[in-house]
């Protein structure tokens, strides 16, 4: 069982914002919060991952139980009680999350005994505080009016083809968003970052397409219908597609960067994940600006659409996990669903 504690960085970020206006606070707090949420949900470590993504130092409290063969191994492999506790803590954290940098404190406990490491015990309860350096990451957003592809993904090649297709859709999504924002006098920083994101998505599409070709699959064409582009529609689209789906995709890409087979794109997922974290942060900043363009009723509709998307996310994540072939580093369905639940809870807080 693990207790997640929001890092002080988040609290500092929120406190820092108290003198800003409401939506500027939303913007800044989410910038901090997204990086931290990704880290909390995933607990990724730096080794081999996303060299261009920001790193976040995490410090969290964990508790759990080591028992049976694992306990025997820990007892035999570590000469002192402190070393046993650290080893048990590391085992608990790493089977759930990522690699531990340092165990800051650790305590071991068994019922009715002051000697938790005595060989007569078959299980020991551990509570510890660990520090690890995590990275946050991300993947695609669909453009307005995107026509969803109903293709069966029945292997690794088709999976990459589908994702190359979605990355190409993201190129169009950011290009059209940049033009739309420019036409409405949005800050040039947001416009330029959307254009930069479109360039990132071209790279992602090419990476995925190369793997698709290697797997003998062709990338389906993107199609989109004419869609309304009033402020409310664009705000809802960004709140769902950018803030929820693209941000959560950062977590999945990060997971793939750690768990995919090397020959099945681990490095590519690391690059994608680093870029997608920026896109997720951009989505939250766009969200703040778009909310500023709406009245109270409009803002309520946007927030409600986002809340519903967060609520549906665990089911969607589990379904995607089911549809992903082995070797691509996706979490198992139950794990994907749990990651989505944690993400939704933290983002909604
Ligand atoms: Fe992407
Ligand atoms: Fe993206």
pLDDT computed for residue 137 by the predictor:
27
pLDDT computed for residue 25 by the predictor:
38
Residues 91 and 158 occupy one common structural domain = no
Q: By C-alpha distance, which of 287, 281, 261 is closest to 159?
A: 261
Query: Is residue 313 in a domain?
Result: yes
Query: Is residue 308 in a domain?
Result: yes
Q: Please state the pTM of the whole predicted model.
A: 0.65
Q: By C-alpha distance, which of 324, 347, 86 is closest to 239?
A: 347
pLDDT computed for residue 99 by the predictor:
54
Query: Is residue 67 in a domain?
Result: yes
Point out the domain boundary residue: 80, 109, 135. Answer: 135
Q: Which ligand is nearest to the CA of 253?
A: 1
Query: Is residue 23 in a domain?
Result: no
Q: Which ligand is nearest to the CA of 248?
A: 2
pLDDT computed for residue 138 by the predictor:
36
For 268, half-sphere exposure in the C-beta direction (CA atoms, 13 angstrom radius) is 23
pLDDT computed for residue 54 by the predictor:
33
Query: Is residue 20 in a domain?
Result: no
Q: How far is CA 204 from CA 30, 98, 141, 257, in A?
A: 25, 25, 12, 14
Distance from residue 192's CA to the centre of ligand 2 (Å): 15
Residues 200 and 296 occupy one common structural domain = yes
Distance from residue 255's CA to the centre of ligand 1 (Å): 15
The answer to whether 285 touches 31, Cβ cutoff 8 Å, is: yes
Query: Is residue 19 in a domain?
Result: no
Q: Which ligand is nearest to the CA of 278?
A: 2
Q: Which ligand is nearest to the CA of 206?
A: 1
* Strand arrangement of the beta sheet that strand 123-135 belongs to: 55-67, 123-135, 102-109
Distance from residue 9's CA to the centre of ligand 1 (Å): 27
The answer to whether 208 touches 140, Cβ cutoff 8 Å, is: no
Point out the domain boundary residue: 135, 162, 196. Answer: 135
Coil, strand or helix at 235: helix
Query: Is residue 62 in a domain?
Result: yes
Ordered DSSP codes for 50-114: -TTSPEEEEEEEEEEEEEHHHHHHHHHH-SSHHHHHHHHHHHHHHHHS---SEEEEEEEEBTTBS
DSSP secondary-structure letter at 2?
Answer: B
Residues 113 and 165 occupy one common structural domain = no
Instruction: Let me know the angle formed at the C-alpha of 14 by 307 and 19, rounded to the nearest 5 degrees.
Output: 115
Instruction: Output phi, psi for 257, to 5 deg.
Output: -60, -25
Point out the domain boundary residue: 105, 135, 165. Answer: 135
Residues 114 and 164 occupy one common structural domain = no
Residues 221 and 123 occupy one common structural domain = no
Residues 306 and 335 occupy one common structural domain = yes
Range 6-13, long-range pairs (CB < 8 A, 24+ positions): 6/36, 6/40, 6/346, 6/349, 7/36, 7/39, 7/40, 7/56, 7/58, 7/59, 7/60, 9/36, 9/56, 10/36
Distance from residue 207's CA to the centre of ligand 1 (Å): 10
Range of the domain at 86: 56-135
- Number of domains forming the structure of the chain: 2
Distance from residue 269's CA to the centre of ligand 1 (Å): 10
Residues 147 and 82 occupy one common structural domain = no
Query: Is residue 8 in a domain?
Result: no
Distance from residue 246's CA to the centre of ligand 2 (Å): 6
Q: Which ligand is nearest to the CA of 174?
A: 2
Residues 241 and 327 occupy one common structural domain = yes
Q: Which residues, by Cβ under 5 Å, contact ligand 1, an ion?
A: 139-140, 167, 170, 201, 204
Residues 117 and 260 occupy one common structural domain = no
Residues 193 and 262 occupy one common structural domain = yes
Residues 101 and 156 occupy one common structural domain = no
In this structure, what CATH number is given to the domain that contains residue 318? 1.20.1260
11: buried, middle or exposed (CB in 10 Å: 19+, 13-18, 0-12)? exposed
Residues 178 and 253 occupy one common structural domain = yes
Instruction: Output phi, psi for 108, to 5 deg.
Output: -115, 145
Q: Which ligand is nearest to the CA of 202?
A: 1
Q: What is the mean pLDDT of each run of 10 residues along the chain (349 residues)?
A: 29 25 42 64 42 47 88 93 92 63 89 91 91 47 79 86 92 96 97 97 96 94 85 96 91 91 89 90 95 98 95 87 89 90 86
Tokens of 152: 């069966």
Q: Which ligand is nearest to the CA of 242?
A: 2
Dist CA 7 CA 113 (whole Å):
34
């Amino acid at each position: 069982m693990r207790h997640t504690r929001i890092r002080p960085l988040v609290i500092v970020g929120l406190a820092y914002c108290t003198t800003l206006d409401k939506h500027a606070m939303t913007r800044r707090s989410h910038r901090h919060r997204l990086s931290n949420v990704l880290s909390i949900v995933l607990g990724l470590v730096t080794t081999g991952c996303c060299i261009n993504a920001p790193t976040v130092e995490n410090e969290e409290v964990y508790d759990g139980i080591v028992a049976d063969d694992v306990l025997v191994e820990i007892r035999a492999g570590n000469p002192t009680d402190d070393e046993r506790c650290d080893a048990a803590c590391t085992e608990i954290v790493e089977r759930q999350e990522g690699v531990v940098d340092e165990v800051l404190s650790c305590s071991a406990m068994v019922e009715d005994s002051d000697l938790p490491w005595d060989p007569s015990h078959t299980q020991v309860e551990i509570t510890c505080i660990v520090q690890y350096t995590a990275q946050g990451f991300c993947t695609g957003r669909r453009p307005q009016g995107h026509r969803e592809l109903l293709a069966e993904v029945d292997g690794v090649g088709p999976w990459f083809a589908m994702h190359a297709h979605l990355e190409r859709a993201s190129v169009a999504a950011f290009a059209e968003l940049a033009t739309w924002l420019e036409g409405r006098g949005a800050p040039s920083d947001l416009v330029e970052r959307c254009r930069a994101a479109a360039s990132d998505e071209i790279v992602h599409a090419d990476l995925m397409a190369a793997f698709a070709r290697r797997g003998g699959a062709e990338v389906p064409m993107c199609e989109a219908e004419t869609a309304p582009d009033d402020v409310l529609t664009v705000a809802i689209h960004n709140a769902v597609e950018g803030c929820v789906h693209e941000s959560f995709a950062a977590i999945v890409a990060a997971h793939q960067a750690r768990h995919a087979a090397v020959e099945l794109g681990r490095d590519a997922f690391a690059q994608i994940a680093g870029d997608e974290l920026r896109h997720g942060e951009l989505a939250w900043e766009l969200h703040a600006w778009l909310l500023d363009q709406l009245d109270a009723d409009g803002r309520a509709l946007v927030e409600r659409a986002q809340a519903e998307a967060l609520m549906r996310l665990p089911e969607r994540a589990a379904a995607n996990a089911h549809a992903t072939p082995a070797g691509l580093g996706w979490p198992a369905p139950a794990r994907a669903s749990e990651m989505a639940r944690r993400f939704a809870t933290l983002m909604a807080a």
